[in-house]
């Protein structure tokens, strides 16, 4: 790392960038990794420096060597102008929204959005005089017809993390920018490795680093990367709120970055194989995975994405609640719990039928979402096989 010339650094391919980004020789003192920096107070050499805040680090909430190396690495990967780090993915969503919205504004939010983001819009933003209208995630350029004179944000999440609709982000961005609105996208599913958000017109991109950047279900982190039009405002907003990410989490995220490409590609391979196996099961009505040719958003996915992650859903043929519970409760390798993107496989029941307001979501049977981990695929299939047996028995 210390030996990399600027020219070589600029020409590195992705795998090499993941290995080398954020490895600052000044901070690591010869060790391979930058250690976690903890602290509130930063000392100044004299009053003039203190009054002018004329040094690289000024206070714990305003950045540390650890946060600086991770955010600069993320800025490089996303193709942004800058990145801020927050203590969770949901906090990243909140900060991006607080950056772009003011009282009296209107926001368009995809109907497929991560439900806690929807709750923030419906409760906190509403209380602050900001109105939200939900839109059909597959609307594409049609979002132009929903823009109002005070629409300041179009919020996208593609694919939706439960129902996996693929959004036409370039078309949405064109319509939003034409009306002077900011495009915020939750890019957690694809990560910048499979979807470079800013090259597709996104102004602020959210990543719940809790998922694939961590890869080990052992940290909470949110990242917001922003293009040049928005970074200064984002940076100012987050500093006024002072909600820094935890030093240990930042350190672990930087460690996760080194293997993210490997883990994500393996999750992709495993999830695709499992999705295909599930599609052939008699108990399954349909598999919802954007990389499968029968997915309604497959063409868009193929146009804009360079890979798929390990998160997808299935719709079971109609079955009782007790049968679905028996299917899930008895799984030995798939854990039952929220979040995703870890090394371990998870399965959760999902039901979006009651939350949607712009679109009707009627999948035709109970849904289950899988986050496929790194276990042996045959073991995962055997676990599910036994689950299907329980499902059939109860019916
Ligand atoms: C799509 C998506 N965005 C954001 C988040 C929030 O991340 P965190 O759990 O770090 O708050 C989640 C969490 O499940 C998610 O699925």
CA torsion sign for 69, 71, 74, 79 is negative
Atom of ligand 1 nearest to the CA of 160: 1
Ligand 1 contact, 357 CB (< 6 A): no
Nearest CA to ligand 1 atom 9: 89
Helix H, strand E, coil C: the string for 136-173 is CCCCHHHHHHHCCCCEEEEEEECCCCCCCCCCCHHHHH
Ligand 1 contact, 209 CB (< 6 A): no
User: What's residue 216's pLDDT?
Assistant: 98
Ligand 1 contact, 160 CB (< 6 A): no
User: What's residue 2's pLDDT?
Assistant: 56
CA–chain centroid gap for 259, Å, is 17
Atom of ligand 1 nearest to the CA of 209: 10
Tokens coding 194: 């499979």
Q: What is the CA radius of gyration of the chain?
A: 22
92 CA from centroid of ligand 1 (Å): 9
Nearest to 205 by CA among 99, 343, 69, 112: 99
Ligand 1 contact, 167 CB (< 6 A): no
pLDDT 10s digit of each residue in the chain, 395 long?
558 888 998 899 999 999 999 998 889 999 999 999 999 999 999 999 999 999 999 999 999 999 999 999 999 999 999 999 999 999 999 999 999 999 999 999 999 999 999 999 999 999 999 999 999 999 999 999 999 999 999 999 999 999 999 999 999 999 999 999 999 999 999 999 999 999 999 999 999 999 999 999 999 999 999 999 999 999 999 999 999 999 999 999 999 999 999 999 999 999 999 999 999 999 999 999 999 999 999 999 999 999 999 999 999 999 999 999 999 999 999 999 999 999 999 999 999 888 999 999 899 999 999 999 999 999 999 999 999 999 999 98
CA 374 – CA 225 distance, rounded (Å): 28
Best residue among 85, 87, 97, 114 to mutate for probing ligand 1, ranked by most atoms within 8 Å of CB? 114
Buried b (16+ CB within 10 A) or exposed e, 128-147: eebebbbbbbbbbeebbebb
**Cβ-proximal residues to 76 (8 Å cutoff; 6+ apart), any chain:** 17, 21
Supply φ then ψ for residue 191, to 5 degrees: 60, 165
CA 104 – CA 130 distance, rounded (Å): 5
CA 392 – CA 395 distance, rounded (Å): 5
Give pTM, 2 decimals.
0.97
CA 210 – CA 89 distance, rounded (Å): 7
Supply φ then ψ for residue 157, to 5 degrees: -145, 115
User: What's residue 6's pLDDT?
Assistant: 87
Residue with tokens 């599913």: 189
């Amino acid at each position: 790392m210390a030996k990399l010339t600027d020219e070589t650094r600029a020409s590195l391919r992705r795998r090499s960038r993941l290995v080398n980004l954020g490895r600052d020789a000044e901070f690591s003192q010869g060790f391979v990794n930058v250690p976690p920096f903890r602290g509130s107070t930063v000392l100044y050499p004299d009053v003039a420096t203190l009054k002018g805040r004329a040094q690289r680090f000024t206070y714990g909430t305003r950045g540390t060597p650890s946060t600086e190396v991770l955010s600069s690495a993320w800025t490089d990967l996303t193709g942004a102008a800058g990145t801020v780090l927050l203590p969770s993915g949901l906090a990243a969503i909140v900060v991006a929204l607080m950056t772009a919205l003011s009282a009296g504004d209107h926001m368009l939010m995809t109907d497929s959005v991560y439900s806690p983001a929807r709750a923030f819009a419906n409760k906190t933003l509403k209380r602050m005089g900001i109105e939200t209208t939900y839109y059909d995630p597959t609307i594409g350029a049609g979002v132009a017809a929903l823009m109002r004179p005070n629409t300041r944000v179009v919020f996208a999440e593609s694919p939706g993390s439960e129902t996996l609709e693929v959004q036409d982000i370039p078309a949405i961005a064109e319509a939003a920018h034409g009306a002077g609105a900011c495009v915020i996208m939750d890019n957690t599913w694809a990560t910048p490795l499979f979807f470079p958000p800013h090259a597709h017109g996104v102004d602020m991109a959210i990543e719940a680093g809790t998922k694939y950047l961590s890869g080990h279900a052992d940290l909470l982190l949110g990242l917001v990367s922003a293009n040049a039009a928005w970074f200064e405002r984002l940076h100012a907003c987050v500093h006024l709120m002072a909600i820094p990410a935890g030093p240990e989490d930042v350190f672990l995220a930087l460690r996760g970055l080194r293997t993210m490409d490997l883990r994500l590609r393996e999750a992709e391979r495993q999830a695709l194989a499992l999705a295909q196996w599930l599609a052939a099961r008699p108990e399954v009505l349909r598999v919802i995975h954007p990389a499968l040719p029968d997915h309604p958003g497959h063409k868009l996915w193929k146009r804009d994405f360079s890979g798929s992650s390990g998160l997808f859903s299935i719709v079971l043929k109609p079955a009782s609640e007790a049968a679905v519970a028996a299917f899930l409760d008895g799984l030995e390798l798939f854990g039952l719990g929220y979040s995703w993107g870890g090394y371990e496989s998870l399965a959760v029941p999902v039901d979006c039928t009651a939350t949607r307001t712009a679109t009707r979501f009627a999948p035709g049977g109970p849904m289950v979402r899988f986050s496929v981990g790194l276990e042996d695929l045959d073991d995962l299939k055997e676990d599910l096989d036994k689950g299907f047996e329980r499902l059939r028995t109860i019916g």
